[in-house]
Amino acid sequence: MENKTGMTWFILLGLTDDPALQLPLFIIFLLIYTITLMGNLGMILLIILDARLHTPMYIFLGNLSLVDFCYSSGVTPKIIAGFLVGDKSMSYNDCAAQMFFVTGFATVENYLLASMAYDRYAAVCKPLHYATTMNTAMCAWLIAGCYACGFLNACIYTGDAFSLRLCERYFVHHFFCDIPAVMELSCFDKHVNELILVCVASFNIFFALIVILMSYLMIFITIIKMHSAAGHQKAISTCASHFIAVFIFYGTVIFMYLQPSSSHAMDTDKTVSVFYTMVIPMLNPLVYSLRNKEVKSTFRRIIFRSK
């Protein structure tokens, strides 16, 4: 690919060139990344340390935290370094690797959220059969399938973007090597590549959304049929955190990748990208921990035990 394009380096234009904003943005993103690291790695550690959390729901949650940590780490340290030392250059191969891992882990999260919705469906709608429906083997197959689909799609996305013959424009109008921003560097016809991107992304997003919506439809029907107020409350509380995470994630991803290139305003895309590459990975562990009694009680037990 390097010989095909004749380019070995890209310059990431970043969020802003205003010198007055460099230090405040450095502090903000460093704080966001620190909270992301602490929240996601802390969630993984809690789940590993407490045997009572070794259930499908928390195994999925642990993998969600791992994925959030990984794809945030693929973007945020480079941005922080750019604000600190002003180095916004990235090699051609590093750009391709960043795109591969960010899109791969984002797609894994897409399928993990669908798997978690199915898990909640099994827990609420078929509680008597939950232990057999979501056994260890089933849980392992679902997680393995999420990672396999994620990185298979990452190969398609990255190959699709970097198969384009790029012009001599090496300025990427973004703060990381996102697919639409790299495709903008091509001055040749890219309609086929954009069509491939939209079709593959649409399949991934809407397949997962159909699983999630069908699961929640069945959960809603089951809750309606419950005669106990306590049953209603328990069923709603067990799904609320996941529903919030789904709403935030899919809202931003659909806005970013399922619109035609003519509708892309790069400044708007960059703002939305900050949300899904940095803010969502920070929010997910907070959403799940603050609304989850088991996680909070495990955290208190570990803290008091260490004193």
Counting Cα atoms < 13 Å in the Cβ hemisphere of 237 gives: 12
For residue 55, the SS3 value is coil
Q: Is the pLDDT of residue 296 over 70?
A: no
Neighbours of 235 (CB within 10 A): 21
Q: What confidence score (pLDDT) does residue 260 get? A: 55
* Single-letter code of the amino acid located at 85: V
- Greater confidence (223 vs 135) lies with 135
Copy the structure tokens of residue 89: 């250059």
Q: What confidence score (pLDDT) does residue 81 get? A: 86
pLDDT tens track for 199-236? 898 899 889 989 998 988 888 888 887 766 665 666 66
**Cα–Cα distance, 155 to 266 (Å, whole number):** 24
* Single-letter code of the amino acid located at 171: F
Q: What confidence score (pLDDT) does residue 3 get? A: 42
Mean pLDDT over each residue of the chain, to the nearest integer = 82
pTM of structure: 0.86
The mean pLDDT of 274-289, rounded to a whole number, is: 81
Total domains in the fold of the chain = 1
Whether the CB-CB separation of 183 and 164 falls below 8 Å is answered with: yes
**Cα–Cα distance, 114 to 209 (Å, whole number):** 7
E strands in the chain: 9-12, 89-91, 171-172
Q: Any idea which of 104-108, 113-117, 243-247 has the lowest mean pLDDT? A: 243-247
**Cα–Cα distance, 304 to 307 (Å, whole number):** 5
**Residue 186 burial (C-beta neighbours within 10 Å; 0-12, 13-18, 19+):** middle
Whether the CB-CB separation of 201 and 257 falls below 8 Å is answered with: yes
Sheet of 171-172, strands arranged across:
89-91, 9-12, 171-172
For residue 151, the SS3 value is helix
Percent of the chain with pLDDT over 90: 26
Question: What CATH number does the domain containing 129 carry?
Answer: 1.20.1070.10
Domain of 244?
2-306
